[in-house]
Structure 1
Amino acid sequence: MGKIVISENVSLDGVVQDPTGEEGFGRGGWFDRMADKDRLEWTKVEFDEALGTKALLLGRRSYEWFAARWPARSGAWAERLNALPKYVVSSTLVDPEWNNSTVLDGEVVAEVSKLKQELDGDIVVYASRRLVRTLLEHGLADELRLIVHPVVLGAGERLFGETGAELPLRLLDTRTVGDGLAALTYGIVRDAQGNAA
């Protein structure tokens, strides 16, 4: 059975909106403020994660952002991401151009549940904040991997919005990345029936 892993870059106050400054959000571009040493160490963390990933799961907008950049890149990290199976949740995308891509155009919860049954290993979700909220709300996510950037933005879309229920988590790992980033890994606590406890 697959494990849905949400892997996000977040500000200290949980903002995930417009990390590269391309969406027009007034406080966007916060991701690019990291120091060179932090970026180098962040790259190693992300590459290691990609090596341990079975597939990527993305929302349409995030898929299009990655698909516009990664196919033209070279190096081991690009080769890995380009070779991975990619599943994109979308009711509008018809012909995905990034190789090894499959559109999941049915009902999200059913499609992702089926994907979890079909695949073994980590199914990593990058960005895709609307998809992430759906996965969390419906108990489909299994693990959160957060890279926390040392900035408080004070506004913007946060990873966790208002939810219908509490989400109990268990800290699995914490470490410093470079000099300024923190990597936090949480498992979602489940009851005997497999529901978030």
Structure 2
Amino acid sequence: MRTLIVSEFITLDGVIENPEWTYTEVKPVPEMYELKGREQTEAGCLLLGRVSYDEFAPVWPDMEEFAEYNAMPKYVVSSSLENPQWQNTSVLRSLDEVRTLKESDAAGTILVHASGTLARGLLAAGLVDRYHLLVFPLVLGGGKRLFPAAGGTKARLDLVEHETYSNGVQMQVWDVAR
């Protein structure tokens, strides 16, 4: 069974929406992106929600730093997307199809990038195995959150890796306890 990883840039108050704050509010340091490089080389496919697909598909194919993502299979969970144009992209219509993808014997992890709504649904369905979080030392006070304040799915997490960088960003890797 493949490992499904949710990867997010997130603020201290849990906001993941419109992460331009990752570039404007905190001075980047190269070492904080090491996890992102590791994700690209370990991933066997990229799994996206429809909104993230619509944002990434017009931009990422022309970006040299995303060459590995562009080459790998990509899956979009959507009830309405037809004929995706991004190279190697397929549409999954349900979380049951995600479960089948996860149960396949294909190589590499399944990486969910910047898709909060999808990530919440995957957690509720018991499909998330790990979280890769880059936690930025910011409090935005509002915006879409990875984990809702109330009424969400409960999960116990085990910290398996962490590091704090000179700019205050924390890398946290959490396994979902089963």
Q: Fold match, TM over 0.5?
A: yes
Unaligned runs of 5+ in 1: 21-29, 191-197
- Residue matched to 1:64: 54
User: SS where residue 139 of structure 1 aligns?
Assistant: coil
CA 1:92 to 1:187, structure 2 compared with 1: closer, same or farther past 3 Å? same
Matched, 1:172 2:164: no
Deviations 1:95-151 (A, max 9, x none): 11111111112xx22111111012343101011111001001111100011100010
Mapped partners of 1:164, 1:66: distance in 2: 27
Mapped partners of 1:188, 1:94: distance in 2: 33
Q: Which among 89, 94, 97 is matched to residue 77 of structure 2?
A: 89
- Residue matched to 1:148: 135
Deviations 1:10-51 (A, max 9, x none): 00111111112xxxxxxxxx22222142xx223332122111
| Structure 1 residue 179 displacement after superposition | 2.6
User: SS where residue 32 of structure 2 aligns?
Assistant: helix
| Structure 1 residue 84 displacement after superposition | 1.2
Matched, 1:102 2:90: yes
Q: 2:2 touches 2:108 (CA, 8 Å); kept in 1?
A: yes
Unaligned runs of 5+ in 2: none
Q: 2:28 touches 2:167 (CA, 8 Å); kept in 1?
A: no
Structure 1 segment 1-197 matched on structure 2, within 5 A: 1-20=1-20, 30-32=21-23, 33-37=25-29, 40-74=30-64, 77-105=65-93, 108-118=94-104, 119-161=106-148, 162-163=150-151, 165-190=153-178
Mapped partners of 2:39, 2:99: distance in 1: 22
Instruction: Figure out how many residues of one structure are paired with residues of the other and give that number.
Output: 175
Mapped partners of 1:164, 1:44: distance in 2: 31
Mapped partners of 1:109, 1:61: distance in 2: 16
Q: Which letter does structure 1 place at the counterpart of 2:96?
A: A
Q: 1:42 touches 1:178 (CA, 8 Å); kept in 2?
A: no
| Structure 1 residue 163 displacement after superposition | 4.0
Identity %: 39
